[in-house]
Amino acid sequence: GAVVSQHPSRVICKSGTSVKIECRSLDFQATTMFWYRQFPKQSLMLMATSNEGSKATYEQGVEKDKFLINHASLTLSTLTVTSAHPEDSSFYICSAVGTSGGLAVHTQYFGPGTRLTVL
């Protein structure tokens, strides 16, 4: 299967600061990346869909000015949590689909996740 990495795996920050999370596809070209948020013992909640080179599409209820997404290349998407507050503490997971060797990769492959704690 395809490999997706995320960095950092864990971050603790003070309230009011901004945090950037990187999502990279290591062995395929990620045309589309998805960002999810997961609260403890709950399912994944899709936050936004980002296509390479274009603006992200946010799900209803997700603040686009708070969760900035950039997908500038076929291997990298970033999620920036701006002016983070304790309620933003969560597990953030990215996934990617795209092409590998000219073949479409429809299955979403997930990164290992980033655990954000805002103090």
Partner 1 sequence: AQKVTQAQTEISVVEKEDVTLDCVYETRDTTYYLFWYKQPPSGELVFLIRRNSFDEQNEISGRYSWNFQKSTSSFNFTITASQVVDSAVYFCALSRTGGYQKVTFGTGTKLQVIP
The footprint of partner 1 (CB under 8 A) covers: 1, 31-32, 34, 41-44, 46, 49, 91, 93, 95, 97-98, 106-113, 115
Contact between 84 and 19 under an 8 Å Cβ cutoff? The reply is yes
Residue closer to partner 1 by CB (options 48, 84) is 48
Contact between 111 and 93 under an 8 Å Cβ cutoff? The reply is yes
Residue 66 beta carbon to partner 1: minimum distance, rounded to whole angstroms: 20
Residue 46 beta carbon to partner 1: minimum distance, rounded to whole angstroms: 6
Residue 93 beta carbon to partner 1: minimum distance, rounded to whole angstroms: 7
Residue closer to partner 1 by CB (options 38, 82) is 38
Of 46, 73, 70, the closest CA to residue 58 belongs to 46
Residue 40 beta carbon to partner 1: minimum distance, rounded to whole angstroms: 11
The radius of gyration of the chain's CA atoms, rounded to the nearest angstrom, is 14
Of 48, 59, 53, the closest CA to residue 71 belongs to 53
Buried b (16+ CB within 10 A) or exposed e, 68-96: bbebeebbebbbebeebeeebbbbbbbbb
Residue closer to partner 1 by CB (options 1, 86) is 1
Residue closer to partner 1 by CB (options 59, 63) is 59
